[in-house]
Structure 1
């Protein structure tokens, strides 16, 4: 049986532990290189980007060794956001793109994400073939066909220059004060540069990476620092990115946080009014709030739900020809501009809405009234199967009966961490807490 390596978003785990070891990275590089090297010429290339984690150096070198052993030429981009890798893969005519990042996870985790020649994340079929090759092994090329590696020094600048072209022409951000929180991650230079070059007064936080402080007390998963900084400095808004800058949270001038659902509601409504929303549909996951669905329906628009993971969102968007999608967690995918979620791109589009409407961030951030939603995570040990226990199944069945007609329940395993996620929505706050806590207690007992 082939070992299951790929989760919701590439391969991820604790650095220097399976599967995030140098040995596995070398095997993954060799397998991916063999899979995407379509012929025996020496013109094949792969781009590799990374965030600021300490283990990124180790994995970058191991991947490079594996890739060059199969004849791939490697172009090293250095620390750049995940969407920059997707774009560079396509624009540089590469056969493959790789991002080394565990996104919003702490520094001790890392991950490897793959992009195909079109700049989009790999299909399930491609991932399965790479897993098979890792298991079976890959023959190296002859000495004369070994690939070369080269650093691309201007990769970050290429990305920021492109981003500025997505902002409305002849408009500037003069007079707008922006707190930009880069989570000590991949966008620590690109994001402040892009905003400053468009004329904004910037107050940067989370821009001093040391290899171990990525996502620590900052970024889209911990917005308290940015919110406090916005209020203390009288800023117009805050933009919070995660470690690889493919997620965003917006902080309004009052310090209130807007998640991905509110941002998608804003963009969908705005784009629909301009005739820009393809098919009158927004693509989001099963995690998105019921309030978003109700808001769209009131506008004559439709919410199309997918499994959790921005890759599933993008697949549905491409299949249906839709141009806007994302996740409540802050992945915002705009395929008119990018092949994957891009936090900074979404931030620029939000700023464009501010300029076009003349409204403050607080009026744009709260588009709909969210149905109360409660999410709790329970950590388990790999190999355990708590959701299969009779007591847990009974608790879930009881909760579904109690919520029938009043809300909804979603139980799932995380695709990136060993967590059971228990989420419910219900306008009865007491019932909401009871059903979630009841299931969490049963899962805890089994673990």
Structure 2
């Protein structure tokens, strides 16, 4: 029932009001007496959130409805409102016909595997503790969650950021667009993607930056671009940033748990490079950075001379967050755009990442220069669509273990070679088998990617 990022699927098929009702019932029966509930901009989210609230109340739990908010806003609100859990109705970066549900702990960490299985078991078996008529849960609303999130972002970044700007830049500095900014303040274009991540623009403005927005009107049909902030989907942002005096472009997905970036000349920045830059700033000698098995070698190569190691996890922000609970892990991230600073929250917080990146650029110089200083290698990513991904992976796994020597099965199958590696794994949210390959040379990366793709397609 749960994938790597909660429950997701097509509305009216995999995701229904019956399911949302039962998840609410299960959450309350498992002991959550007070639950904050939110949703993204998808129209189906209204009915699914109402159904989940009904299930919570039916089993005696109180619900606090936040309305349409970013996922990191909801996750942070669990602790802010002294709740036992959070329930977010969102399909994140998935297409408009989809929706889903994701559950959160007071720490901001998503439910772990044992918690998810407990909910799934109760839903499968219909095992709920329904309350008596006079013991039903209450429901209330809180419209201050987004403002509280913006306050938290300014508090987390503002003081440090201003000091860093003064040390690094002096009173004036020149951006990679050629424009001069005062006290390091930047001109930033934020592509909200018709989602609920407008809190990023608000926080950046309050931090002293000149902010322009694209696609800022929430609309769950995502009329301007698909929800996922990929290079292809963010071409308009790239064009706008390149054609103006902007220093930086920011893009979010529909629920703003992801953040991607664009340099002043309109270059869409690799997620692996962003991960490397964030990790280098966050971690000190002797600490670790959590990153999934499909992360580029460029991250480890940048961090190793600083005495920082990479701790590899399964793909999925929930697994990165679990590793980030270790006391020596200073940062966790995924190349897809999920960034976790455990000293702030264990939820991927796209608006926090936007603010941290802006402060990094203001303090260290143009993003293009920072990106250019990270040595990268040929990396190939693709996917094969299939409705038999579990069967395909089982057969591929058997072949790979039999035919190759250095195989890691932490998540899918990863084959290590002297001059590169490839990874084959099933998507946790879509009917896809994903293929990744990296090598020191272009031709070798192409060969490894073709080799891995053939293994999937011929199975």
Q: TM-score, with normalisation over the residues of structure 1?
A: 0.89
Give the Cα–Cα distance (whole angstroms) in 1 for the partners of residues 370 and 78 of structure 2: 34
Give the Cα–Cα distance (whole angstroms) in 1 for the partners of residues 315 and 424 of structure 2: 11
Contact 1:51 1:186 in 2 (8 A): yes
Give the Cα–Cα distance (whole angstroms) in 2 for the partners of residues 310 and 368 of structure 1: 24
CA offset digits 1:150-190 (Å, max 9, x no partner): 22122211111111111232839965210101111121x32
Give the Cα–Cα distance (whole angstroms) in 1 for the partners of residues 434 and 227 of structure 2: 23
Q: Aligned pair in 2 of structure 1 residues 253, 128: CA closer, same or farther (>3 Å)? A: same
Aligned to 1:51: 40
Aligned to 1:250: 261
Give the Cα–Cα distance (whole angstroms) in 1 for the partners of residues 455 and 224 of structure 2: 31
Q: Does 1:33 align with 2:33?
A: no
CA RMSD of aligned residues (A): 2.5
Q: Does 1:95 align with 2:84?
A: yes
Structure 1's unaligned 5+ residue stretches are 38-43
Contact 1:106 1:215 in 2 (8 A): no
Aligned to 2:343: 336
Q: Aligned pair in 2 of structure 1 residues 399, 369: CA closer, same or farther (>3 Å)? A: farther
Contact 2:424 2:452 in 1 (8 A): no
CA offset digits 1:81-105 (Å, max 9, x no partner): 1111111001110011011111111
Deviation at 1:390, TM superposition (A): 7.0
Q: Does 1:270 align with 2:281?
A: yes
Deviation at 1:215, TM superposition (A): 7.9
Give the Cα–Cα distance (whole angstroms) in 2 for the partners of residues 279 and 35 of structure 1: 39
Contact 2:199 2:351 in 1 (8 A): no
CA offset digits 1:359-414 (Å, max 9, x no partner): 11212234422221111111111576123447993699479899731101110001
Deviation at 1:340, TM superposition (A): 1.1
CA offset digits 1:174-208 (Å, max 9, x no partner): 65210101111121x32222222222222211212
**Bigger CA drift: 260-269 or 141-150?**
260-269
- Residue number among 141, 147, 161 corresponding to 2:137 in the alignment: 147
CA offset digits 1:239-275 (Å, max 9, x no partner): 1111111111111111112233222322332345xxx
Deviation at 1:14, TM superposition (A): 1.1
Contact 1:218 1:224 in 2 (8 A): no
Aligned to 2:241: 230
Give the Cα–Cα distance (whole angstroms) in 2 for the partners of residues 343 and 264 of structure 1: 13
Q: Aligned pair in 2 of structure 1 residues 215, 297: CA closer, same or farther (>3 Å)? A: farther
- State how 1:155-304 maps to structure 2 within 5 Å: 155-169=145-159, 171=162, 175-187=185-197, 189-213=198-222, 216-217=225-226, 220-221=229-230, 222-272=233-283, 277=284, 279-304=286-311
Residue 144 of structure 1 aligns to a residue in which SS? coil
Contact 1:181 1:218 in 2 (8 A): no
Contact 1:376 1:421 in 2 (8 A): yes
Give the Cα–Cα distance (whole angstroms) in 1 for the partners of residues 106 and 376 of structure 2: 39
Structure 2's unaligned 5+ residue stretches are 166-180, 408-414
- State how 1:295-444 maps to structure 2 within 5 Å: 295-357=302-364, 359-382=365-388, 385-389=391-395, 393=399, 397=403, 404-444=417-457
Give the Cα–Cα distance (whole angstroms) in 1 for the partners of residues 348 and 397 of structure 2: 38
Deviation at 1:70, TM superposition (A): 0.7
Aligned to 2:100: 111
Deviation at 1:147, TM superposition (A): 1.1
Contact 1:53 1:214 in 2 (8 A): no
- State how 1:7-26 maps to structure 2 within 5 Å: 7-18=3-14, 20-26=15-21
Residue 99 of structure 1 aligns to a residue in which SS? strand
